[in-house]
Amino acid sequence: MKQKIITVVSVLFGLMFMNAGLNKFFNYMPVPEDLPENLMQMMQAIMTMGWLISLVGLVELVGGILFLFKRTRALGAIVILPVMVGILLINTVTDTSGLPIALPLFAINLWVIIENWPKYRPMLQP
């Protein structure tokens, strides 16, 4: 039962990140109009560095694809982790209204990392 829950949650998580990554390239989701001014300024600053938003989009897309499949899920969780840390920092420092979404996503990512911890252990050996 636990594996089925992890699979369903992981597929949804992966699809969500694939969607977010594709949106960075194709801009098909509208930006909410009621964003706070400081968040809008930060987003505009990030958008002026065209390579950064493309890099984040690529990492989200690749990480989301890797997250979909059980065999590559451990790698996908590590690939997406820096993006998740950035999302958490933005939502704690700039505007906390996104925390109800960001915290569960971060928890899912950590859950998958913890479930796959034996796969990471050889990388941490001296």
**Number of domains making up the chain:** 1
How many other C-beta atoms are found inside a 10 Å radius of the C-beta of residue 63? 27
Give the pLDDT confidence of 20-72 residue by residue, as tens digits: 999 999 999 998 888 888 888 888 888 888 899 999 999 999 999 999 999 99
Average pLDDT over every residue of 89-103? 91
Query: Which residue range forms the structural domain that includes residue 88?
Result: 2-124
Q: Which two tokens stand for residue 10?
A: 């992981």
Judge whether residue 119 has pLDDT over 90.
yes
Region 74-102 average pLDDT: 93
Supply the pTM of this predicted model. Answer: 0.91
State the average pLDDT for the chain. 93
Rounded Cα distance between 16 and 77, Å, is: 13
Cβ 87 vs Cβ 101: under 8 Å: no
* pLDDT of 45: 87
